[in-house]
Amino acid sequence: MQFELTEEQTMLLDALVAITGEGAEPERCVDRYIADPALEEQLQDAGFFSLAQHGYSTLEAVLVAIGIGKLPVCVEAATSLLIGPLLPETVRRPIAIVRETSAGETSVAVSGRSGSRAARLATRPIRFLSGAHTLVILADDQVSLVELQPEDVRACTTHYAYPYGVLVPAALERAVVVDVPADELLRRYRLAIAAEITGAADAALQRTLRQVKEREQFGKPIGAFQAVQHRLAMAATSVEACRVLTLRAADGGDAADAAAAAGYAQEMARQLTFDLHQFSGAMGLTLEYPLHLWTYRIRALQAESGGSQEQFAASVDLAWPPSKSRGE
Amino acid sequence: MDFSWTPEHLALRDSVRTVLAETLPADWDRIAREGPGSAEQTAFSREFCPKLAARGLLVPHWPVEFGGRGASTWEHFIIGEELWAAGEPRGPQYMNVNWIGPTLMRYGSPAQQQEHLPRIAAGTVIWCQGFSEPNAGSDLASLRTRAERVDGGYLINGSKIWTSYAAEAEYCFLLARTSADRKGGIAIFLVPMNSPGIKVQQIPALIGEGDIHEVFFHDVFVAEPQRLGGEGQGWDIITHALANERIGIPRYAFARRALDTAIGLLRDRGELDSIAVKARAGQALAAVEAARMLVYGVVDQRAKRGADRGQGSLARWAVVSAERAVCEFVLDFVPDGLHEGAPPLLLAHHMRAIAAGLASGAAEVQLDLIARMFLELPRERARAV
Ligand SMILES: Cc1cc2nc3c(=O)[nH]c(=O)nc-3n(C[C@H](O)[C@H](O)[C@H](O)COP(=O)(O)OP(=O)(O)OC[C@H]3O[C@@H](n4cnc5c(N)ncnc54)[C@H](O)[C@@H]3O)c2cc1C
């Protein structure tokens, strides 16, 4: 049990910060999200999206995904870092992923399960689809890929802080099944969700802390009020818990741990985003104040892959496999 | 960063489990239901702790000169985690080995060390902790129990409340006031509980039998050599002593067993299929594992002698949240767990869990500490110091 970063991990994260900076805020942000193609290219060139190929572990990939999640700019990193290593080497990022669950399951992963596959997959906006080169379709026991062409995707305006797109049904005809274990891909998908929420939540909390220390009302910083302090203390506890659950799940490789980490992250999102906006006052509702850059990523991730209920339920099946615990 | 256990740590866990398998009686879950302070569990601890001691598992973390073998922080922690998960067969004696002994090693006179440490290390003595008073709860420094100087020692007058294990204890680690100075006027006394003038009354409660008591002190004479440290040193000593205990007991480990039991029961009844039940079970599981990992982080920090910047309080809040999540899961989905006939572990957990946010200090005070130490937020108002 060692919680300190190894020297190599410290160097890796230092190298990341050398490229990204400490996450300085944009001078003006009036968009729902900020893309930074130059930064993305630098990260790509430095190998940050393909750590596994350079011999780094899943834990290290998660550390980097958390680090990139903290940035005010929106970069598709977690999926590439965690799911990328399972896919054929020819696959190009950015990678979008969508989970398709069969009807009749107790799963709530995708509602409106009835109807054709096209109706299930090609009606709903998919995170990162606009601008993605690859779409991963994760079904219960099968993984397929679509190599995307510009005409496959209809861009879609959104209130969330990610680029979204809607798949054109014809693109599904080019979906190819790949020989990748679906359960392992799902485990990694959950790690990616948990890592990205951890990073964004950490940054959103730090930004709010700065605000409540600076902003004064009633003759003192609003961060001096115990009502505010206690909720921030609980927020900090959940962010730290989320971080360590995610890192442990990445290190150990246990599928139940990954589901628990993702469930924890998605559940935490509700209280956290409410509180952080609340403590930022009306300023927190503006586009010029950067909080939304993280909270509207968190709010999008909160429902990903079925949301916290789905991950929690899965963690129970994985932690107490039906045959084993009978008669306990 | 590496979240796996070393082979030595795994072997240690195994050896503790072996002792438990060999020594716990068949009806142990029933004995352990009321918690560490019940007469039955305390009596059991007087047999069990000497066996642990004989196998070098009671005070391995103590220095060799006091009967230990200088084992690591992690070794001590792993033993404590396994034993708490098992229902705490050390009874009240977990307190002795965790902090009373180490405090005596650091601040005690040679005579005090000679009198107390061998008995603690042998596993045959029960202590209680006399801090809280009717008017001094979270604001402990406002305590009023007086220690007045008389020839050869002190006369103690006042009362303590919520004192765990008092009815079974041979000694009390007592805080009393020698002057009006708020923190500087507090001293510590190692008081034999059979001293004339002490009256103990159990408080009927929702938590286990024998846990909490009132202790009345009427002209109790305590000889000068029974004072631990100097007259004005009491506050500093307990601040140090309790810093060692800042994450408290590994409650999440027992919570996990209660959750295991509840899940097993629900599955046998065919009531674990709905997504609503599973989602709540998973939420409780994640809360338990979150608490476990934050506590491990603090243990690792302590093992490396790192400074606590509020992480201990984060971990305690997570532990309180985990206790609550499991407690509420059982109430919602296994409501009969609190009736006669249910597996005793469920009620045992309930009675422990409902005290989690209070025993060893109110959780809201931990949130204050997180705000100040971890988030570096300003104080709301100047507090009395
Ligand atoms: C099972 C159990 C065993 C115990 N064993 C012992 C023992 O062996 N020896 C001993 O000395 N004591 C013992 N205690 C007492 C324990 O230390 C106190 O309960 C604790 O310090 C809180 O004090 P209180 O109960 O008087 O609550 P109070 O101080 O009256 O506080 C009540 C509530 O008010 C709120 N509150 C208080 N202060 C603040 C604040 N600053 N900011 C915000 N909210 C606040 C909190 O919600 C708190 O829970 C035990 C308690 C329990 C439950």
Domains and CATH numbers, chain B: 7-125 (1.10.540.10), 129-237 (2.40.110.10), 246-374 (1.20.140.10)
User: Phi first, then psi: what are they for A122, rounded to 5°?
Assistant: -110, 25
Calculate how close chain B gets to A199, using CA atoms only, in Å: 17
* Residue B132 contacts residue B161 (beta carbons within 8 Å): yes
| pLDDT computed for residue A195 by the predictor | 98
| pLDDT computed for residue A22 by the predictor | 81
Q: Which ipTM was obtained for this model?
A: 0.94
Give the angle B347-B348-B354 at the CA atoms, nearest 5°.
Answer: 85
| pLDDT computed for residue A25 by the predictor | 76
Question: Average pLDDT, whole number, for chain A?
Answer: 92
CB contact under 8 A, B3 and A1: yes
Nearest alpha-carbon partner for B184 in B239, B130, B247: B239
Given a cut of 60, whether residue B292 has pLDDT beyond it is yes
> Does the CB atom of residue B162 touch ligand 1 within 6 A?
yes
Given a cut of 70, whether residue A105 has pLDDT beyond it is no
Given a cut of 80, whether residue A325 has pLDDT beyond it is no
| pLDDT computed for residue B385 by the predictor | 45
How many angstroms separate the alpha carbon of residue B340 from the centre of ligand 1?
30
Strand order in the sheet with A143-147: A95-99, A134-138, A143-147, A176-178
- Cα A230 from chain centroid? 27
CB contact under 8 A, B370 and A233: yes
Confidence band for B383, pLDDT divided at 50, 70 and 90: low
User: Phi first, then psi: what are they for A184, rounded to 5°?
Assistant: -70, -35
| pLDDT computed for residue B201 by the predictor | 97
pLDDT digits (tens, 9 = 90+) for B143-184: 999 999 999 999 999 999 999 999 999 999 999 999 999 999
Question: b vs e for B188-217, b when ≥16 Cβ sit within 10 Å of the residue's Cβ?
Answer: bbbbebebeebebeeeeeebbbbbbbbbbb
Contacts 24+ apart (CB under 8 A), B355-359: B355/B207, B355/B211, B356/B251, B356/B319, B356/B320, B356/B323, B356/B324, B357/B320, B357/B323, B357/B324, B359/B164, B359/B248
How many angstroms separate the alpha carbon of residue A264 from the centre of ligand 1?
29
> Does the CB atom of residue B362 touch ligand 1 within 6 A?
yes
Compute the distance between CA of residue A192 and CA of residue A66 in angstroms, rounded to an integer: 9
Compute the distance between CA of residue B46 and CA of residue B92 in angstroms, rounded to an integer: 10
How many angstroms separate the alpha carbon of residue B358 from the centre of ligand 1?
5
Beta bridge partners of B188: B175, B228
Least confident piece of the model among A271-275, B64-68, B104-108, B243-247? B243-247
Looking at ligand 1, which residue's alpha carbon is closest to its atom 52? B359
Compute the distance between CA of residue A316 and CA of residue A319 in angstroms, rounded to an integer: 5
Kindly identify which residue of chain B lies nearest to residue A240, measuring between CA atoms: B294
Of A9, A108, A245, the CB nearest to B290: A245
Least confident piece of the model among A105-109, A298-302, B233-237, B275-279? A105-109
| pLDDT computed for residue B380 by the predictor | 77
Mean pLDDT value across residues A264-271: 98
Q: In the 8-state DSSP scheme, what is residue A129?
A: -
Helices (H), A215-290: 226-252, 255-279
> Does the CB atom of residue B132 touch ligand 1 within 6 A?
yes
* Residue B66 contacts residue B117 (beta carbons within 8 Å): yes
| pLDDT computed for residue A324 by the predictor | 55
User: 């609340």: which residue's tokens?
Assistant: A278
Mutate to test the interface with B, among A7, A240, A242, A257 (most CBs of B within 10 A): A240
| pLDDT computed for residue A112 by the predictor | 45
- Residue A287 CB: number of other CB atoms within 10 A? 12
* Residue A68 contacts residue A43 (beta carbons within 8 Å): yes
Mean pLDDT value across residues A107-126: 67
* Residue B237 contacts residue B129 (beta carbons within 8 Å): no
Kindly identify which residue of chain A lies nearest to residue B8, measuring between CA atoms: A1
Mean pLDDT value across residues B284-304: 97
Least confident piece of the model among A98-102, A189-193, A310-314? A98-102
| pLDDT computed for residue B19 by the predictor | 96
* Residue A47 contacts residue A85 (beta carbons within 8 Å): no
Domains and CATH numbers, chain A: 92-179 (no CATH), 183-325 (1.20.140.10)
Mean pLDDT value across residues B10-20: 97
* Best of B95, B358, B372 for a ligand 1 pocket test (most atoms within 8 Å of beta carbon): B358
Atom of ligand 1 nearest to the CA of B133: 11
pLDDT digits (tens, 9 = 90+) for B58-76: 999 999 999 999 999 999 9
Given a cut of 50, whether residue A309 has pLDDT beyond it is yes
Compute the distance between CA of residue B74 and CA of residue B61 in angstroms, rounded to an integer: 9
Question: Which amino acid, one-letter code, is at A316?
Answer: V
* Best of A225, A226, A229, A231 for a ligand 1 pocket test (most atoms within 8 Å of beta carbon): A226
Tokens of A324: 């084993």
Tokens of A14: 């230092």
pLDDT digits (tens, 9 = 90+) for B19-59: 999 999 999 999 999 999 999 999 999 999 999 999 999 99
pLDDT digits (tens, 9 = 90+) for A120-134: 888 899 999 999 999
CB contact under 8 A, B364 and A230: yes
Atom of ligand 1 nearest to the CA of B360: 17
In sequence order, the 6+-apart residues with CB closer than 8 A to the CB of A283 are A211, A289
Q: Would you say the C-alpha torsion B44, B49, B52, B57 has a positive or negative sign?
A: positive
How many angstroms separate the alpha carbon of residue B91 from the centre of ligand 1?
22
Question: b vs e for B23-58, b when ≥16 Cβ sit within 10 Å of the residue's Cβ?
Answer: ebeeebbebbbbbbbbeebbebbeebbeebbeeebb
Question: Average pLDDT, whole number, for chain B?
Answer: 95
Mean pLDDT value across residues B209-233: 96
Of B2, B282, B301, the CB nearest to A312: B282
Looking at ligand 1, which residue's alpha carbon is closest to its atom 37? B138
- Residue B300 CB: number of other CB atoms within 10 A? 18
Given a cut of 50, whether residue A109 has pLDDT beyond it is no
pLDDT digits (tens, 9 = 90+) for B106-120: 999 999 999 999 999
* Best of B93, B129, B159, B162 for a ligand 1 pocket test (most atoms within 8 Å of beta carbon): B162
> Does the CB atom of residue B137 touch ligand 1 within 6 A?
yes
Calculate how close chain A gets to B311, using CA atoms only, in Å: 9
Given a cut of 60, whether residue B336 has pLDDT beyond it is yes
Given a cut of 50, whether residue B82 has pLDDT beyond it is yes
* Residue B60 contacts residue B71 (beta carbons within 8 Å): yes
pLDDT digits (tens, 9 = 90+) for A132-171: 999 999 999 999 999 999 999 999 999 999 999 999 999 9
Given a cut of 90, whether residue B85 has pLDDT beyond it is yes
